[in-house]
Amino acid sequence: MEIETKSIGGVEIISLNGRLDAYSSNEVERSINTLIDGGCVRIVVNFKGVEYISSSGLRVMLASLKRLRKLEGDLKLACLKPYVKEVFDIAGFTQLFDICDEEDDAVKRCSAGTGV
């Protein structure tokens, strides 16, 4: 799993590339937690490079969302490929997360504090 981070207007963007499974989920969780521990409460996760997500990956996203909402922040998801979006849908997570087709839209929604 490759993880890149950047900041745009107070929103942290984490771009993932690879499989988000039991092997890589701890690394992704550490990256998100490092941002949160550093005071970031508005985070976008870009899934453009993710072809596969397991239940471990779903757990990381849900735990991160819950942690951010307790801090009055939010986690937006962007650029989910059809298979990954289907996994979120089957798990019922599409009702929990604000999912955007494009990273720019997710950043705007995060900045504005809109969404689910």
Q: Each residue of 21-33: pLDDT tens digit?
A: 999 999 999 999 9
Per-residue pLDDT, 114: 54
Q: Which one is the CATH code of 2-112: 3.30.70.100, 3.40.630.10, 3.40.50.1980, 3.30.750.24?
A: 3.30.750.24
Per-residue pLDDT, 51: 96
Give the whole-number percent of the chain exceeding pLDDT 70: 97
Question: Whole-angstrom Cα distance, residue 51 to residue 21?
Answer: 11
Per-residue pLDDT, 111: 82
| Strand partners of residue 11 | 8
Question: Is residue 47's pLDDT more than 70?
Answer: yes
Report residue 116's pLDDT band, with 50, 70 and 90 as the boundaries.
very low
Domains of the chain, residue spans: 2-112
Q: Each residue of 90-111: pLDDT tens digit?
A: 999 999 999 999 999 999 999 8
User: 53 versus 115: which is more confidently predicted?
Assistant: 53
Q: What is the 3-class SS of 34-92, one letter each residue?
A: HHHHCCCCEEEEEEEEEEEECHHHHHHHHHHHHHHHHCCCEEEEECCCHHHHHHHHHCC
Question: Is residue 77's pLDDT more than 50?
Answer: yes
